[in-house]
Structure 1
Amino acid sequence: MTDGTGLSPISDVDWPEDIADLLPGFAGALNVYRTMAHHPALLRAWCDLREHVVNQTALGRQRAEIVILRTGVRLASEYEWSQHVLRARSFGLDDTRIASIGGEVDGMAAEDAILAQAVDDLFDVKRLSRQNRDALTALAGVHGVLDLMATVGFYSTLGFILNSFAVPLDADAGLALEKAPLKSL
């Protein structure tokens, strides 16, 4: 159950029976959810919000990845950053753009800067500044503003789990990044 750093990801053999239906899907695919499976009721409740934040967001795939990457940076979550470098690439973001998300807002493309500044606002002042909220609304609409906040909250929770329990990066992600490391700026 534990490995000295906290909760270890649950193996297929030890997977809780009451969430057996989640094992072949998203929950069995990533170590963060295998760790969350120590609390089956929480993981089951997580499913609908995950579906919205990951697959139904008004931000769209690329903008959502910018928000997730910036959240990973702010949480110092190597796991979240690494997993989402790969996802961002799969959604068409190039390495230069991805790497910029780890830096200063003024070094990013204009749209990315709006998204990253919104994430920074939420971490730094616990709300969107009026100026950034207006820019974000113009960019993504009211649904996009709310989805950005939900995304930051969702991935912050995952980041807290990842950081608290030293969840290891999934082997396939590690190999993919080893073969194609992120090119820096």
Structure 2
Amino acid sequence: MARVPYADASDVPDEHEDLLRSSLQDRPLHVYESIGNNPAVLAGLRSFFGSLWTDSGLTDRERELVILAVAAEGRNRYEWHQHVNIARGVGISDGDIAAVGRGDHASLDDDEATLLEYALAVVRGEVDAICHAEIAAQYGDDAIVGITAIAGAYGALGQMIDAFDLELEGDTSFHGWDPR
């Protein structure tokens, strides 16, 4: 059982009801329902995460690889599970998803491996001049800000999910770290 209740539409102001639902899955998700206990925070987070998706400077594939790597690093089953579905939807193969799940970036191309190593360095607090120079050789400053924000934000979201002890939605079961 989650440590905070799952808010429903009757628990939040009318202008926040839609924020409890995933626009991709067209249904309420526990992550949003738990944060819905503070509708203003939910609204701010949804706006921030929406901006990360659209304004980060990454392709959908790159964004999802970063999110999967961060979820795998934190061993966050809920976030991993949600983003396996999204990753598949943007064309990432189960083989690549499984490789990210085990921290093996060798099967990805060199640019993607560098991207994930940088994202993980952000989460671990290990970005140094060499790490920054490697990512700067691939991306401009605007995208580096986007990558760093995605890695940090999804790391923080994973911490919230863990603190709340969120369960997967009742009609799903965990894909596993290797979803093949």
What is the TM-score of this pair, normalised by structure 1? 0.81
Deviation of the 1:168 alpha carbon? 1.4
Q: Where do 1:97-108 residues align within 5 Å?
A: 97-105=96-104, 107-108=106-107
- The structure that is helix-richer by fraction is 1
The question of 1:44 aligning with 2:43 is answered yes
Unaligned runs of 5+ in 2: none
**Counterpart for residue 111 of structure 2:** 111
CA deviations over 1:148-184 (Å, ceiling 9, x no partner): 1100121122111111111111345x26959xx811x
SS class of match (2:138): helix
Q: Are residues 100 and 33 of structure 1, via their aligned partners in 2, closer, same or farther at CA, if it must alter by over 3 Å?
A: same
**Counterpart for residue 121 of structure 1:** 121
Q: Are residues 41 and 14 of structure 1, via their aligned partners in 2, closer, same or farther at CA, if it must alter by over 3 Å?
A: closer
Q: Are residues 55 and 169 of structure 1, via their aligned partners in 2, closer, same or farther at CA, if it must alter by over 3 Å?
A: farther
CA deviations over 1:72-94 (Å, ceiling 9, x no partner): 01111001111111111100110
**Counterpart for residue 76 of structure 2:** 77
Give the percent of matched residue pairs that are identical in Structure 1 and Structure 2. 23
SS class of match (1:113): helix
Q: CA RMSD in A?
A: 2.6
What is the TM-score of this pair, normalised by structure 2? 0.83
Deviation of the 1:122 alpha carbon? 1.8
Q: Where do 1:1-185 residues align within 5 Å?
A: 3=1, 5-17=2-14, 19-23=16-20, 26=23, 29-105=28-104, 107-109=106-108, 110-124=110-124, 126-171=125-170, 174=172, 177=175, 182-183=179-180
Q: How many residues align?
A: 176
CA distance in 2 between counterparts of 1:159 and 1:76 reads 9
CA distance in 1 between counterparts of 2:21 and 2:3 reads 24
CA deviations over 1:104-132 (Å, ceiling 9, x no partner): 445342223212211221233x1423233
Is the contact made by 2:6 and 2:34 (CA closer than 8 Å) also made in structure 1? yes
CA distance in 2 between counterparts of 1:115 and 1:83 reads 21
SS class of match (1:8): coil
140-149 or 11-20, which moves further after superposition?
A: 11-20
Deviation of the 1:44 alpha carbon? 1.6
Unaligned runs of 5+ in 1: none
CA distance in 2 between counterparts of 1:47 and 1:104 reads 28
